[in-house]
Structure 1
């Protein structure tokens, strides 16, 4: 099966732009605002540990056993187009390394070790990493996710570090010379140059190269031969509607959803060696423009292959979801701007689980805000993707999301805490159930345990143990500023008012034990959407009308019967308008204190919002998707009734953008 990358490049006739010269590089890197912790320094607990276990026992954890693009029989011997490091193996390795080590799963650890060993043992004499791919040209991009996985291997298992670093130091001079000669460059590599730059910066920051000048020069070469993301993120160039009939000023692949998700990192990565404020400004502006004109209440943005505007029926690719989460974490660590992690947290708790079945054995290619069926669609609302794209299955539309989606939860977990640039302070970034152990400056041994059901509860109880006093920070989400309270070591609760710029609340942690209870309540809020519809939010969760459904199995994988393609169809009316003044929050916490598993499945989260609603006239396109909502306010066609809105991530058929009743 040909790669999606090649299909699109051929279809769009994208010309390769080759540049042979790089301008003079600078002599140092700008420092990161925060430093990430090594893989396994942060571990999931509670419901989040269970969620990662569900992923491990689901499709993600079993791909190596049966899935042709990454199983042993395929990538050893290189018979598939996706074999080795062209795409699938590299994607799988990038996600499964943190998954395996965070679960301490010896089977999956052995699998990623086998993959790593095979790739490095087949490094070519000139430095090219991985087996040769026959007569196909050498293209670099497919190695970038592999590099991310290899870096995580050095963190989880330091005994691997020397071998991995030696391989990278052999590859970098080859990459440098290839770029100067215009080799290894193709359209997808030109959009995703920041991924390789991040690897080079990791080597530079950790003093792992004998030639820092070459690292800096290679960074500049990558930028010069790549697409101009700073130009893409200028207001006069950025598309404000679906791009179906527009011409891209910097090449249409910069408007491709997953390329955009990865390109979000580019201005910040470039700023570290350019020292240009305009690069840093573009990182923030690009993020803002993207979500203003293409954003979703679930936290993510729409791109059913290319940027798709605000209409609720348009799609969002699963690869895009996990890549945006990773980019947001990196952007926060570079800039310290809390807007990035506010949104990543919303994506993780809404858009990510919404596009997978609860048991995580089936996934979509595209999810929709208003999704009344998951089936082969006629007519097809997706302008550049197939009608099968919103079916839940093994590989609907394209295989890439099957092998790439496993990075979502593990990398969210491994970026949940960071340290200050000087290593003296610890920052709790993503709220949820975690534990961490870290050595801060001055050999201060610190451990932290966060006990919470968040985002299914407003309360987090944190216990800190430290050998020396230090400053601990916790992020107060934007939706709880002005409402959050904290009780430290049993004292009366007081307002948890964060710094206005960083959204961080400062706690002076003592030698020994410090315990605090943080409460982060939120109001129900309404987000205005097209046609006068509204999206209902409370705290980190988006709420939608969960449409009851029936299920039909369309296909079953011959090697793995749990890997199935599923069709969902509505079994109840979904054409409702609501009275926004009637919304009431409902919390039914589990008596055991333990959430059901898998929590992101129909009816299982303990939170809901009730609404007074009425039936309305709302057209469909064929029988497969809802047309745009009728303009609000909408006349009722039936009596008032009460409907229940549930967390978006637990819904598989839903109305997330709801009309308002007259």
Structure 2
């Protein structure tokens, strides 16, 4: 089982932690509310991505993966009753409604119906326990210790919550009401961490759905339940705020307290301070989140927008790995945090992780994944590498369905689907906010009279800088339309019906509040400049807009089978990779980098053949920079950031492509004269 993203203000606030625990509950409103599932439909390249998923593993994992296929516990069988079936459903349910796939809807509904229809009279739900099979009894309040771990139920609650927003099926609210009442009555006897530390480390997932139900029924007992779950779970809000935790993870990665450093636990825990703020109104929690996320990305952040997690936090060297589960869970936490806080820094962080870290870790048909990927990755092979969890079978780095742990094979499906679901939010005046960007069509209601409106977001973003919002409505309607200006864009332009308009931003958000008419069009232009950012060991990373660029390397694919983990793919390259970027080129990127727009091809896929943009930059080879055990450890540079060793005299122009289209690459380069 399982630096620079955005500049954050560092606030030390450990001494104020107790305040949040003594204040009376004061539930606060989110800055942005979520859009119901099914109202946002992907289009363009994003739709192509979701269709690939539906046609392959996401749409068919129950047919091709025996652990979920055989006698499934979430259908009443004796098979998988742990996390992997809910993990899969957590991505398959939104996919079914986003592309309106009737077959997939029927498929996921089987599991939802069984879960709802087989809830015990006590409120307990989930697969039939061993004790229940042996005794013929059902788990109730008096024998709650005969139940099973809380953790898989937390994931299934997220599945049910999404299904409810798409269907308004009242059975979901009934199940949650009864289950949370069961938790209220039993947590003293059977606390969150009774069965495993996984539940105690991931209590924020439980808290999130408890508080979501509170927004619907206003039952204050739910706020007390959320506080109790917090008290029985890992102290993430405290740890994120007091800084010692993340520093210790960087300097002392031993076997003690490893669950506190487990990357997936950390990714889920990011949302805990924000959820605690919702319940209490105590802004200390938001300060702790900001401090903790800044520290996390400073000490463990990688150029592709995610932190190291192989499986533990493991520093900021680009040769460290990141587990795929950590990426999709961090994305979802950021999506939740965005709605609660409205802070654009988290929106920028979400786009960076989504467009750069996630796509490079799966095959383009979405049937295989790497358990761990590296930012600087010059081979994909069986091996130990520098991971904190190397595995005896050395399968963590290969591309396989079941390589490494299979949690990621089940969990990877929520990444693109939940990102799609959070392209839009609703603001407080019944308007709408486009806070992260990709092609889609929104169909919702706006204004004082909840008038129906459709907005087609026509764009090739992040590969193109223009975003058109085309509106359709039956009659004119007043509402605020909000747009985010990314932190990397310094000269954004907005046009309404092709007429340039002046605008002001407030905390990175533009509000266009006016009466809108049918066929109105808003165009957002986000000019993308080539920039260079600084990372571990004085390395430099080339960026353009929201995309990070990596050395284009030839790929030679191999195929093999491992007895326990099945078929997998390896990659090698005959391309040179040991290049340093010319210091003079990096100092004057505008004159020294050529941008070549190749355009998006039909049947879009995240692979090298489909890379729509290429950058060219001058470099020199570093002969002494050689692979060590398959890793491209960065060579040592001087205080001025320039490599002092032997460098070839011949200049070469190398080609960079967006990292999401690569499997092998160098993304963090040394500088040379």
TM-score in terms of structure 2 length: 0.88
1:569 correspondence with 2:559: no
In the TM superposition, what whole-angstrom CA distance separates every residue of 1:383-430 from its partner, at most 9, and x where no partner exists? 2232321111112210000000100001001111111134x2210111
**Could you tell me which residue of structure 1 aligns to residue 389 of structure 2?**
384
In the TM superposition, what whole-angstrom CA distance separates every residue of 1:207-232 from its partner, at most 9, and x where no partner exists? 2x7xx132111101101111111221
Please say if residues 456 and 605 of structure 1, whose CA atoms lie closer than 8 Å, have aligned partners that are also in contact. Answer: no
**CA 1:247–1:217 in structure 2 vs 1: closer, same or farther (change >3 Å)?**
farther
* 1:373 CA drift (Å): 0.7
Please say if residues 437 and 445 of structure 1, whose CA atoms lie closer than 8 Å, have aligned partners that are also in contact. Answer: yes
Could you say what secondary structure the match of 1:286 adopts?
Answer: helix
Which residue of the other structure, out of 208, 232, 236, is the alignment partner of 1:229? Answer: 236
Please say if residues 526 and 536 of structure 1, whose CA atoms lie closer than 8 Å, have aligned partners that are also in contact. Answer: yes
Please say if residues 240 and 291 of structure 2, whose CA atoms lie closer than 8 Å, have aligned partners that are also in contact. Answer: yes
Whole-angstrom distance in 1 between the partners of 2:414 and 2:563: 23
**Could you tell me which residue of structure 1 aligns to residue 514 of structure 2?**
508
In the TM superposition, what whole-angstrom CA distance separates every residue of 1:70-119 from its partner, at most 9, and x where no partner exists? 22533345434xx13x2111111111100111121122111100111122
Could you say what secondary structure the match of 1:470 adopts?
Answer: strand
Whole-angstrom distance in 2 between the partners of 1:644 and 1:153: 45
**CA 1:65–1:181 in structure 2 vs 1: closer, same or farther (change >3 Å)?**
same
Whole-angstrom distance in 2 between the partners of 1:131 and 1:320: 26
Please say if residues 314 and 320 of structure 2, whose CA atoms lie closer than 8 Å, have aligned partners that are also in contact. Answer: yes
Please say if residues 29 and 278 of structure 2, whose CA atoms lie closer than 8 Å, have aligned partners that are also in contact. Answer: yes
**Could you tell me which residue of structure 1 aligns to residue 334 of structure 2?**
328
* 1:61 CA drift (Å): 2.1
**Could you tell me which residue of structure 2 aligns to residue 9 of structure 1?**
none
1:281 correspondence with 2:277: no
Could you say what secondary structure the match of 1:439 adopts?
Answer: strand
* 1:168 CA drift (Å): 1.2
**CA 1:469–1:556 in structure 2 vs 1: closer, same or farther (change >3 Å)?**
farther
* 1:446 CA drift (Å): 2.1
* 1:640 CA drift (Å): 1.1
Whole-angstrom distance in 1 between the partners of 2:459 and 2:508: 23
Whole-angstrom distance in 1 between the partners of 2:373 and 2:564: 26
Could you say what secondary structure the match of 1:238 adopts?
Answer: helix
In the TM superposition, what whole-angstrom CA distance separates every residue of 1:305-362 from its partner, at most 9, and x where no partner exists? 1111111100011001111111111111101111111110111111110111122221
Which residue of the other structure, out of 626, 632, 637, is the alignment partner of 2:648? Answer: 637
Could you say what secondary structure the match of 1:344 adopts?
Answer: helix
In the TM superposition, what whole-angstrom CA distance separates every residue of 1:614-636 from its partner, at most 9, and x where no partner exists? 21134445442222334252342
Whole-angstrom distance in 2 between the partners of 1:551 and 1:633: 34
**Could you tell me which residue of structure 2 aligns to residue 453 of structure 1?**
460
Structure 1 portions without partners, runs of 5+: 6-21
Aligned length in residues: 623
Which residue of the other structure, out of 215, 219, 226, is the alignment partner of 2:226? Answer: 219
Which residue of the other structure, out of 40, 44, 47, is the alignment partner of 1:46? Answer: 44
Matches within 5 A, 1:582-597: 583-590=592-599, 595-597=601-603
**CA 1:495–1:306 in structure 2 vs 1: closer, same or farther (change >3 Å)?**
farther
**Could you tell me which residue of structure 2 aligns to residue 476 of structure 1?**
485
* 1:27 CA drift (Å): 4.8
Please say if residues 47 and 595 of structure 1, whose CA atoms lie closer than 8 Å, have aligned partners that are also in contact. Answer: no
Whole-angstrom distance in 2 between the partners of 1:273 and 1:183: 21
Please say if residues 25 and 281 of structure 2, whose CA atoms lie closer than 8 Å, have aligned partners that are also in contact. Answer: no
Whole-angstrom distance in 2 between the partners of 1:234 and 1:470: 38
Whole-angstrom distance in 1 between the partners of 2:367 and 2:527: 34
Could you say what secondary structure the match of 2:603 adopts?
Answer: coil
* 1:549 CA drift (Å): 1.8
* 1:497 CA drift (Å): 4.6
1:268 correspondence with 2:274: yes
Could you say what secondary structure the match of 2:672 adopts?
Answer: coil
Task: Indicate the RMSD between aligned Cα atoms, in angstroms.
Answer: 2.4
Whole-angstrom distance in 2 between the partners of 1:24 and 1:125: 35
Whole-angstrom distance in 2 between the partners of 1:495 and 1:348: 31
In the TM superposition, what whole-angstrom CA distance separates every residue of 1:558-610 from its partner, at most 9, and x where no partner exists? 99xxx9410111221111111224642423243xxx53433311031221211
**CA 1:58–1:244 in structure 2 vs 1: closer, same or farther (change >3 Å)?**
farther
**Could you tell me which residue of structure 2 aligns to residue 127 of structure 1?**
123
Structure 2 portions without partners, runs of 5+: 3-19, 132-145
Whole-angstrom distance in 2 between the partners of 1:61 and 1:352: 19
Matches within 5 A, 1:166-565: 166-185=174-193, 186-207=196-217, 212-240=219-247, 243=250, 245-246=252-253, 251-378=257-384, 380-386=385-391, 387-422=394-429, 424-440=430-446, 441-466=448-473, 467=475, 468-480=477-489, 482-491=490-499, 493-494=500-501, 497-499=504-506, 501-506=507-512, 508-555=514-561, 564-565=567-568
**Could you tell me which residue of structure 1 aligns to residue 6 of structure 2?**
none
> Which is worse superposed, 169-178 or 612-621?
612-621
